[in-house]
Structure 1
Amino acid sequence: MKLNGSEILIECLKEQGVDTIFGFPGGAVLNIYDALYKHRDEITHILTSHEQGAAHAADGYARATGKVGVCIATSGPGATNLVTGIATAMMDSVPMVAITANVTLPLLGRDSFQEVDIAGITMPITKHNYIVKDVGELARTVREAFRIAREGRPGPVLIDITKDVTAAVCDYEKKLPKIRPTATVSAEMLRLDEAIQMIHESRQPYVFVGGGAILADCSEELLEFVETIDAPVCDSLMGKGAFPGDHPHYTGMLGMHGTKTSNLGVTNCDLLIVLGSRFSDRVIGNAEKFAANAKILQIDIDPAEINKNIGADYAIVGNLKDILAELNRKLPRLSHQKWMAEIAMNKQSYSLAYDESTLTGPYVIEELSKLDDGSFVIATDVGQHQMWTAQYYKFRSPRTLLTSGGLGTMGYGLGAAIGAQVGCPDKHVFNIAGDGCFRMNLNELATAVRHQIPVVEIILNNHVLGMVRQWQTLFYEGHYSSTTLSDGVDFVKIARGFGCEALAVTKREEVGPALRRAIASKRPFVLDCQIGMDDSVWPMVAPGAAISDIIIGK
């Protein structure tokens, strides 16, 4: 069958099971949009307000569903507007395919109108990327891009297609993706005996769960493993939801804004079992003092993560789900009664606390968590509200927290929430943002209204760049340089101008009714929650300090 390049692209996307694309049209990509129009009953296109919003929406769609997210943009500035979203996906190992069009082949390299070397620009922030200059290579490239995005440690792949390729005609033959079965026995499986011996010999084991556990879809195996070895569990920001946040063995997040129980527990344990984590600097603090009394057993699918930031005494490279299943099969049920009693006492002594006399971010987040009936997906932007969400929300299942952990992208959350809501129409999706983050991509409210995507935007509005101000208070003698946002912007009026429902929340007693009203509306809804400008995230570990050196706060 002879098809032009744009039609081949659409057919290949259908082969891969793509049902949704997030994007923004332009001159170089018009042929593709014409093909999308013809296949609009098979692939839904969500027109965003900005290409960055499209990239974040594809990312949120991928995180919430486990599928590959797809975004599309035109050449030049359209393509470069995807860069932050692609880098976000790369840092957090999100499977995504970004499709851009470029000028025609004769115009490449001539500084043509809206020409940019997007493949060169994105080379450091993609698993792989392509520029397609021959229509005969297009189908193979698309299929390979999706395979690379999914396999091993997931990540983004970029396909740049010259405009003449989108119009050129060649033969197309349908090929469905081959299912690649996971090997049940591998060389790594034969190396479990030493790991099992380390677990047997430990008297004070601790399990640290990272985002790799979400990607491996191993929550059931993880729960069985923890209960089998009778160990406390902490997680990274990216690992939230892999292990139930309301389980007795769970002690909270580890690191700079982790709980005192988790930080002291990891400091005092004799075996740290690390599952799918890259040992971020925000987790480990002072590397020389991190888990100094412990042997470290690290399990990760990416060999590049072994011994990169923290040296492992023993490491296993492979699929976390398979490895945990095999460990569960081989390990007897263990008991660490004394250690678990110590951890339980610390949890009681060092529980999180906040000012209960006024409206605060933690209170809003706790009230939202109480309403969660298992149908909530939470996106966040980046800053204090992100850390409060990690501390106070009880994430009970995977793929329910969408947040930029690695790149720390302000403005990420609203686009991600839109993508998640499109991918999971039966869920209630919220974005928790600070007012600084909300300003960056608030134009995506128009996207939500245009497509009637019922996301709820919760703004914890302190009229400052809260996390930066907190650092200025602690480490810069209160020099509040360019962090105050007291400019009289009314987010409720702005939201209503976009066509959203909106409410201002100024008192604690207003929070519950406002949240229930937003959920019941089934429309895009904005809650502007006014909190104090000097509310801070506690506990905190100062940069460069050991994670056991914890600042509790006022």
Structure 2
Amino acid sequence: MHVGERLSELLVAAGVRRVFGVPGGQTTPLYHGIARQRGAITHTLMRDERSAAFAADAYARMSGRVGVCDATVGPGVSNLISGLLEAYTSSIPMLAIIADIPRHWETRRRFGSASQGFEQRSFLEPCVKYYGRVELPENLDGVLAAALRIATAGRPGPVILEIPDDVFSADFPAPAPGLAPHARLSVTYPQSRTSPDPSSVERAVELLRRSRKPLLLAGGGALSAGAGDQVQRLAENLEAPVATTLNGKGVLSEHHPLAVGPAGSFGLPLVNDLLAEADCVVFIGTKAAQGATLNWTLPPPGTPIVHLDLDATEIGRNFPQSLGLECDARLGAKALADALPERGRSDWDLERIRRLVEEWWRGALDGGVDGHGAVKPQAVMRALGAVMGQDDVLVTDASLSSGWGAAHWRTRRSGRTFVAPRGLAGLGWGLPAAIGSALALKDTGTDGRVYCVAGDGGWAYSQSELETLARLRLPVVATVLNNSVLAWTRHSAEQRYPDTEPISQDFTDVDFAAAAVAMGALGRRCATPDEFAEAVTKAAADHTGSPVVLEVISSKTESPVLKPKDRRAMTAY
């Protein structure tokens, strides 16, 4: 047995069912090992290592297991960077298995004297929680155990397992007699849960008892912790509206009477108004970042804040007045709910808030086209919402697509049915993430179909993965909002320099539907809201297994981005 075979054996024992990657000569032992597992673990060939990392990230979000990808030395490794950083900044556990040049070539690493060699550790280490290198075959078990433990412990994140070429293909030694086995491997997360300090809970309870207009803001940490039931209990006990960050969307069904929708730059205007009005805000599993708080202007300065987070370094970082509870989001919300039984009515006019929320989700679209006759993305999201089932999943690309999905597509149940990249927010994430999400649903036996929304700018980054989608026969329905422009950056340039026509923002018209057909998918181009509604209804009813790409000629001017009311807090993006 060589090291690649042993690694494959360990991955299976840990519960890994799928690895995403692109082969290289130095990673061949891993592929050989996976092949010899005879279906216990599957390798998914992607067209680009960046896509492999994006797919592994989404797989982790949807499956509750560490996402795994691989890359060969040099250019393969460097292509991982965007995916690792998205997982790192979104706190998603991921294992990247990478090769390196042979150990005895170390003096030939610099400037690629050894083919494809470079200082990859110093390049990747700032982007991950842990960088484990297997210097000797007998070290493999321990380094992998450490990597998986660190990926899933505390605040989750990506880790590296680096194996030099000569070690990867080396024989794996039989364990020495009497040697204690390593701890049981597992890829589920969270691996453990931390309860809040009781004295901190008491102080938080006192703040909330004095509050007349409390509000909860739940983030991705609450969703990953499965805190929905406890967040709902706490909200109902307090009669408090529940807002979410982009990555927290789905903690509560957005049909729940207290769910008001996302906050911040990709949120609902009403939700930002409620954040400004609240007299106490509870952050649950969120870092209270720029996007969710309108450049840290909401809640306003001086508003009492209770902050529940696994990572104590986040508490008080952006809102110094925060009272911190270092804990798992589910256990923290439960502790507060247990200590705060129903206390009577808050001062919120909940009937009015509910009416305004419903008006937002059901509001008129003025025909669904802009002044130039191009389709408004709001109409696209409305049509998607009409055909998608409660277990279907919406995956969006970065940039404006995330905003359209957050503020104009409504979740039907609690849990993760909306997936978007708001950690690093790099273009091109959407299609590979849709692949990872669809395979996670398949591998876990979960009902539901994946729908993907991307702008033409982001879609073009990863369009090659349509071949992957078609090869795997994944019935993903992808919508491309084609306005032939990098809309967000063009809008920003126009606002910053209104006296100058922006340069390098616009593209020629590309027929993405025709390209999709050439790559093995079904494709249709839609120029009106009615054409799209008809096409997406037909796609939703198609169960042949073919992926579908619906291209929409969309507005260049519409934007979901909300800005801070205080102009001093505005940025160009």
TM-score (ref. length: structure 1)? 0.93
Q: Which residue of structure 2 aligns with residue 171 of structure 1?
A: 174
Deviations 1:399-436 (A, max 9, x none): 21221102011000110110111110232011100000
After superposition, residues 399-548 of structure 1 pair within 5 angstroms as 399-425=416-442, 426-477=447-498, 479-485=501-507, 487-519=508-540, 520=542, 521-537=544-560, 539-541=562-564, 545=568
Match of 1:262 in 2: 271
1:335 aligns with 2:357: no
Three-state SS of the structure 2 residue aligned to 1:194 is: helix
Secondary structure in 1 matching 2:306: strand
C-alpha separation between the residues in 2 aligned to 1:399 and 1:181?
Answer: 15
Tell me the secondary structure at the aligned position of residue 31 of structure 1.
helix
How far residue 65 of structure 1 moved from its aligned partner, in angstroms, is 1.0
Distance 1:290 1:505 in 2: 41
One-letter amino acid of the structure 1 residue matched with residue 88 of structure 2:
M
| Structure 1 residues 307-364: Cα deviation after superposition (integer angstroms, max 9, x where no partner) | 1111134110011111222222221113345313464465478776644342311111
Deviation at 1:260, TM superposition (A): 2.0
Q: Which amino acid is 2:92 matched to?
A: V
Q: CA deviation at 1:285?
A: 3.2
Picking from 105, 108, 117, the partner of 2:106 is 108
Task: Describe how 1:350-429 pairs up with structure 2 within 5 A.
Answer: 354-358=365-369, 359-395=375-411, 396-425=413-442, 426-429=447-450
Aligned-partner SS, 2:288: coil
Q: How far 1:371 moved relative to its partner?
A: 2.0
Structure 1 residues 243-322: aligned runs within 5 Å:
243-287=252-296, 290-322=299-331
Secondary structure in structure 2 of the residue aligned to 1:397: coil
Q: Name stretches of at least 5 consecutive residues in structure 2 with no aligned partner.
A: 176-180, 370-374
Question: How far did 1:230 drift?
Answer: 0.5
Deviates more, 1:352-361 or 1:212-221: 352-361
SS in 1 for 2:28: helix
Assess, with a 3 A threshold, how the Cα gap between structure 1 residues 41 and 313 changes in structure 2: closer, same or farther: closer
- The residue correspondences of 1:41-190 to structure 2 (distance < 5 A) are 41-111=39-109, 112-169=114-171, 170-171=173-174, 176-177=184-185, 186=195, 188-190=197-199
The separation in 2 between residues aligned to 1:46 and 1:120, in whole angstroms, is: 28
* C-alpha contact (below 8 Å) 1:51/1:81 kept by paired residues: yes
Q: Does 1:36 align with 2:38?
A: no
1:6 and 2:14 are equivalent in the alignment: no
Which deviates more, 516-525 or 146-155? 516-525
Deviation of residue 167 (structure 1)? Answer: 1.8
Letter in 2 for 1:54: A
Shift of 1:116: 2.6
The DSSP-based 3-state class of the residue aligned with 1:281 is: coil
Is this contact kept in 2: 1:230–1:336, CA < 8 A? yes
Mapped partners of 1:225, 1:198: distance in 2: 14
Deviations 1:241-280 (A, max 9, x none): 1121122222222112322221121112110111111111
Q: Measure the CA separation in 2 of the matches of 1:180 and 1:34.
A: 28
> Is 87-96 or 144-153 further displaced after alignment?
144-153
346-355 vs 472-481, which moves further? 346-355
Cα pair 2:195 2:331 within 8 Å, conserved: no
In structure 2, C-alpha distance between the alignment counterparts of 1:21 and 1:286, rounded to whole Å: 37
Moved more, 105-114 or 415-424: 105-114
How many residues are paired up?
A: 545
Segments of structure 1 that go 5 or more residues without pairing to the other structure are 550-554
Q: Distance in 1 between matches of 2:150 and 2:31?
A: 25
8 Å Cα contact 1:28-1:101 kept in structure 2 = yes
| Distance in 2, Cα, partners of 1:222 & 1:84 | 32
Structure 1 residue identity aligned to 2:553: Q
TM-score (ref. length: structure 2): 0.90
Name the CA shift for 1:70/1:210 in 2 (closer, same or farther; >3 Å): same
Deviates more, 1:172-181 or 1:132-141: 172-181
Given residue 510 of structure 1, which amino acid in structure 2 is its aligned partner?
E
CA shift in 2, pair 1:95/1:37, >3 Å:
same
- Which amino acid is the alignment partner of residue 438 of structure 2? Q
SS of 1:420's equivalent in the other structure is: helix
Cα deviation, residue 514, structure 1 = 1.1
Q: Do the aligned residues in 1 keep the contact of 2:428 with 2:461 (CA within 8 Å)?
A: yes
Pairwise CA distance, 1:393: 0.8
Task: Find the aligned partners of 2:568 and 2:299 in 1 and give their Cα distance.
Answer: 10
Task: Give the corresponding residue for 2:178.
Answer: none
CA distance in 2, matches of 1:468, 1:181: 37
- Give the direction of change, closer, same or farther, for the CA distance of 1:49–1:263 in structure 2 (3 Å limit): same
Asked if residue 19 in structure 1 is aligned to residue 42 in structure 2, the reply is: no
What residue in structure 2 maps to residue 552 of structure 1?
none
Secondary structure, aligned partner of 2:479: strand
Distance in 1 of aligned mates of 2:144 and 2:561:
46
Q: How far apart, in 1, do the equivalents of 2:310 and 2:283 lie?
A: 12
